[in-house]
Chains A and B, each alone.
Chain A
Amino acid sequence: MGRGGSRAAPAAAAPPWHVLPDEVWEHAFSFLPADSDRGAAAAACRSWLRAERRSRRRLAVANCYAASPQDAVDRFPAVRAVEVKGKPHFADFGLVPPAWGAAAAPWVAAAADGWPLVEEISFKRMVVTDDCLEMIAASFRNFQVLRLVSCEGFSTAGLAAIAAGCRNLRELDLQENEIEDCSIHWLSLFPESFTSLVTLNFSCLEGDVNITVLERLVTRCRNLKTLKLNNAIPLDKLANLLRKAPQIVELGTGRFSADYHPDLFSKLEAAFAGCKSLRRLSGAWDAVPEYLPAFYCVCEGLTSLNLSYATVRGPELIKFISRCKNLQLLWVMDLIEDHGLAVVASSCNKLQELRVFPSAPFDAAEQVSLTERGLVDVSASCPMLESVLYFCRRMTNEALITIAKNRPNFTCFRLCIIEPHTPDYTTHQPLDAGFSAIVESCKGLRRLSVSGLLTDSVFKSIGAHADRLEMLSIAFAGNSDLGLHYILSGCKSLKKLEIRDCPFGDKPLLANAAKLETMRSLWMSTCSLTLGACRQLARKMPRLSVEVMNDPRRGCPLDSLTDESPVETLYVYRTIAGPRSDTPACVQIV
């Protein structure tokens, strides 16, 4: 890019904007909040590219195989905070074969070498080993934040290394990981001089914890704002901990059960009364209803309540929630039932996000009275509601149409009707009309999961109207190739598409191959794909990685199979790193 401008420059003018030094651009870019904005700036010209990438501090790698760790380090040498995500979303439900990949080790090694100033590391759905954690503890002088979400492969020995080695640790956030218990008292390894902890979340840890050590740690970390306990902490010890950390903003109670004793109740009540800053509450696993009133004094201040693992039900539960008038986020089990949600609708008018989880997902029939009614009530009365995840057993088009009319502001709508192929229970029609209403009304919809009996026609609506949709999940739906074709040829903003058990075949995949390069990934399992089409797709689109996985019980390898062989699982993603080399036997890059 050459020097432009033919203006006669006055004597002491500022330099033309395009020759400003990099530091100025770096400073300007620091005000861009979103990575996508920075990416757009970097694409404008070479000097902006240089300035932007050299000053990037935060990096989010949404697919660990989209680029190699070395690519990331080379391109963004100044990164201080990195987040990497690994396995596809359906790994959460057991659809990804074990040992599929997503090892964190190469990323830790590359970071240790190229980003010695890294302060924050987050991994989601990756395999993190104790060696990784030891390397993190040893490699980064100023390491502050470790966040592991839905990861596996490590034990309390790795946590011990972090506790002992990370002198400036601020956050240790372990969410829903599978952690092996080696009976190492990792908590004791935080030195007595260590006081910097702000977040401590070990709710997913199975084993026992030394309560005295925990109490001492909590006492000396005066900046502790988030504390989420596991199920090894008895109720009376919880009360003690709260008295030592009254400044707490977010609390995970772990268990919340004991035989009812009025003394313990008063102790708990007093402890909560001292927590004037408490805003987010979770846990209450096997909560005993008689103890719920101990929370009453904090209800007014709560903005977030996660009871999604709490099996408590009945009037005490509902009374408790109804006192939380400032709730913005509510996650509950379906034990709350329709009448409970009606109370939520009238009490919690500031609600923005609602998630209702199934208490008995594998039961053949209804055990709780949670239907479309509950969702209709909440969406009618909560004007700020924009994100919903709802598991139920029945739905009607009319309900969905009403919901769509009431809440055009949905950004995330995930409905899971537990029994596949369930039609509208009053008309026995497919739920096409209902979901079409949702996408037509909610112009800002970014995430959608559909369920129930659905034909190709709903996908026509989604393809045509869901312009901002970024993630779509489909299961047991559609009746022909057309369904997939509507989606891939529409949905302008689609980034992630995950499909299971739908009669979608080769033709729409090949016809829309180019679309796949504009997306982050596509998952299709138990559809009607053949190996030949996958091979063809891979040949046509060299910048896609086309992974085929078959049922390990049916025997691998795939090399010997013919083009006509059915493909159980297809996972396609764009990548600049070429085919990965760490696939297990039953996964093949075609």
Chain B
Amino acid sequence: MLVETERSSTESSAASGLDFEDTALTLTLRLPGSAPAPPAVASLSSSSSSAFPDADRKCASSDADPDRSSLLAASSDAAPAPKARVVGWPPVRSYRKNALAGVAGSSKANQAAKFVKVAVDGAPYLRKVDLQAYAGYDQLLRALQDKFFSHFTIRKFADDERKLVDAVNGTEYVPTYEDKDGDWMLVGDVPWK
């Protein structure tokens, strides 16, 4: 499994403690009833329009990523064209807006999201995860499990260590990553920060 570090400062972290996916990079085709806790992604297009019948059709519009501090996003290029969001509506206090945006605990100063590509041997396509959204390796492992749920599960070993294990044949996956020197490193050695 490969993981590549990539800094993406234009992409905002809409993350909270839940597993959020960046709308700009994923076409989410959610199976009906699959996610009991659907990620509430900050919509790039704006509120309003009952012309939005299908919540599952989130169109990728990479150049419309909202700045974290301003949720007054320009309308996305998706059809149907949504109304521009109205200032101050719904009546949610700015304090609450900021708090919801920053609920992952990441400080205002640290707004750039750290997205990394994740590839799993045998998986048809890669995924991206935002390292900022997780507080530790445990959470990252759990997130990877959620993303690649068909491929593996987390097995707890006797010594309380969690490893990614193939759901089918029980072989263990070893998460590795390529650091800036181009060397392959085992995930978990370096402190999370």
Residues of A within 8 A of B (CB): 90, 92-95, 150, 176, 178, 204, 206-207, 231, 255, 257-259, 285-286, 288, 308-309, 311, 313-314, 357-368, 391, 416, 418-420, 473, 475-476, 500-501
A416 proximity list for chain B (CB < 8 A): 90-91
* Contact indicator A420/B86 (Cβ below 8 Å): yes
* Contact indicator B46/A90 (Cβ below 8 Å): no
* Contact indicator A259/B139 (Cβ below 8 Å): yes
Task: Count how many pairs of residues, one from A and one from B, have CB atoms less than 8 Å apart in the complex.
Answer: 120
Q: Could you mark each residue 60-104 of chain B with 1 if its beta carbon is under 8 Å from any beta carbon of chain A, else 0?
A: 000000000001000000000010011111111111110110011
Cβ of B150 under 8 Å from chain A:
no
Task: Report Cα–Cα, A361/B86, bound state, in Å.
Answer: 12
Given contact pairs A311-B18, A420-B86, enumerate 17 new A-B contacts (beta carbons under 8 Å).
Answer: A92-B93, A92-B94, A93-B88, A93-B89, A94-B94, A286-B103, A309-B96, A309-B99, A358-B90, A360-B42, A362-B42, A363-B43, A364-B46, A365-B54, A367-B38, A368-B40, A418-B90
B139 proximity list for chain A (CB < 8 A): 259
* Contact indicator B103/A311 (Cβ below 8 Å): yes
Cβ of B37 under 8 Å from chain A:
yes
Contact for A367 among B55, B82, B86, CB less than 8 A? B55
A451 to chain B, nearest CB (A): 9
Task: Report Cα–Cα, A416/B90, bound state, in Å.
Answer: 8
Contact for A358 among B88, B92, B99, CB less than 8 A? B92
Cβ of B12 under 8 Å from chain A:
no
Cβ of B45 under 8 Å from chain A:
yes
Q: What are 9 A-to-B residue pairs whose CB atoms are below 8 Å?
A: A255-B105, A311-B17, A361-B97, A362-B47, A363-B55, A364-B49, A416-B91, A419-B47, A420-B89
A257 proximity list for chain B (CB < 8 A): 17, 105, 135
* Contact indicator A95/B100 (Cβ below 8 Å): no
Q: Is the interface of A mostly helix, strand, loop or mixed?
A: loop
B93 proximity list for chain A (CB < 8 A): 92-93, 150, 176
* Contact indicator B92/A420 (Cβ below 8 Å): no
A231 proximity list for chain B (CB < 8 A): 105
* Contact indicator A286/B17 (Cβ below 8 Å): yes
B47 proximity list for chain A (CB < 8 A): 361-364, 418-419
* Contact indicator B46/A361 (Cβ below 8 Å): no
B97 to chain A, nearest CB (A): 8
Residues of B within 8 A of A (CB): 16-18, 36-38, 40-43, 45-50, 52-55, 71, 82, 85-97, 99-100, 103-105, 107-108, 135-136, 138-139
A285 proximity list for chain B (CB < 8 A): 99, 103, 105
Task: Report Cα–Cα, A324/B40, bound state, in Å.
Answer: 28
Q: Which of B50, B52, B88, B138 has the most CB of A within 10 A?
A: B88
A364 proximity list for chain B (CB < 8 A): 43, 45-49, 52, 55, 82
Task: Report Cα–Cα, A286/B139, bound state, in Å.
Answer: 13
* Contact indicator B40/A363 (Cβ below 8 Å): yes
Task: Report Cα–Cα, A94/B104, bound state, in Å.
Answer: 24
Closest to A96 in B: B88
A323 to chain B, nearest CB (A): 22
B163 to chain A, nearest CB (A): 16
A231 to chain B, nearest CB (A): 6
Task: Report Cα–Cα, A391/B100, bound state, in Å.
Answer: 16
A93 proximity list for chain B (CB < 8 A): 87-89, 91-94
4 closest A-B pairs by beta carbon, nearest first, are: A93-B88, A286-B17, A360-B40, A364-B52
B37 proximity list for chain A (CB < 8 A): 313-314
Q: A418-B47, A420-B89 are in contact. Are A363 and B42 (CB under 8 A)?
A: yes
B36 proximity list for chain A (CB < 8 A): 314
* Contact indicator B108/A206 (Cβ below 8 Å): yes
Task: Report Cα–Cα, A368/B36, bound state, in Å.
Answer: 10
B17 proximity list for chain A (CB < 8 A): 257, 286, 288, 311
B101 to chain A, nearest CB (A): 10
Task: Report Cα–Cα, A403/B139, bound state, in Å.
Answer: 43
Closest to A501 in B: B86
* Contact indicator A362/B71 (Cβ below 8 Å): yes
Task: Report Cα–Cα, A341/B88, bound state, in Å.
Answer: 27
A357 proximity list for chain B (CB < 8 A): 92, 96
Q: Which of A93, A176, A308, A476 has the most CB of B within 10 A?
A: A93
B88 proximity list for chain A (CB < 8 A): 90, 93-95, 500
A367 proximity list for chain B (CB < 8 A): 38, 40, 55
Task: Report Cα–Cα, A93/B89, bound state, in Å.
Answer: 7
A355 to chain B, nearest CB (A): 11
B134 to chain A, nearest CB (A): 10
